[in-house]
């Protein structure tokens, strides 16, 4: 099973989310920001053969789509904050994790980190089962106060 590869970008200076960013070679005149093949972010004038204006990456946060949706059918990206009817609030991350559930295993990929203090030492891989009982309530950039 393959998943759709999509990104959104948070502009740290403008404090603005760009929800539908394309790869530079996947030209779409509706995309506000493009991602380069070797990394980097760019904007363009909207003309297909126009030059790209490369941006300073330090001013942006790139978030990848997990391929999963919450119980309201909303796409889940890294940096999203989920609330589960069973086990509280979680932050969606990408990287190395150590799952300490029923069977201990390590991995690299999307994972959930609990926000509530009593669960902070626990990380787990993100699964469709987790998301079907969860709702996105915000994200790391637009609703930072939810992490408290």
The string of pLDDT tens digits covering residues 100-140 is 666 667 778 888 888 876 555 566 666 666 778 899 999 99
Average pLDDT, the chain: 79
pLDDT of residue 66: 92
- Are 114 and 101 contacting, i.e. CB atoms less than 8 angstroms apart? no
Determine the 3-state secondary structure of 88 from DSSP: strand
DSSP string, 107-145: EEEEEEEE-SGGGTT-BEE--HHHHHTEEEEEETTT-GG
Under a CB-based contact definition with an 8 Å cutoff, are residues 23 and 11 in contact? no
Residues 6+ apart with CB under 8 A from 71: 131, 132, 133, 134, 135
Q: How many CB atoms lie within 10 A of CB 59?
A: 12
**In terms of pLDDT, which residue wins out, 48 or 93?**
93
Residue keyed to tokens 């059918």: 73
Question: What is the predicted pLDDT for the residue at 13?
Answer: 92
Q: pTM for the complete prediction?
A: 0.81
Report the alpha-carbon distance of residue 23 to residue 114 in Å, rounded: 32
């Amino acid at each position: 099973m393959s998943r759709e590869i999509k990104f959104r970008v948070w502009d740290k200076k403008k404090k603005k989310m760009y929800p539908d960013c394309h790869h530079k070679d996947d030209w779409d005149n509706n995309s506000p920001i493009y991602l380069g093949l070797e990394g980097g972010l760019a904007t363009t004038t909207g003309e297909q053969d126009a030059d790209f204006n490369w941006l300073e990456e330090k001013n942006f946060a790139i978030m990848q789509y997990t391929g999963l949706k919450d119980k309201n059918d909303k796409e889940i990206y890294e940096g999203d904050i989920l609330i589960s009817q069973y086990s509280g609030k979680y932050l969606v991350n990408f990287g190395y994790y150590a799952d300490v559930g029923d069977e201990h295993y390590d991995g690299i990929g999307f994972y959930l980190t609990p926000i509530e203090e009593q669960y902070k030492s626990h990380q787990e891989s993100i699964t469709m089962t987790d998301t079907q009982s969860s709702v996105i309530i915000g994200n790391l950039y637009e609703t930072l106060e939810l992490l408290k």
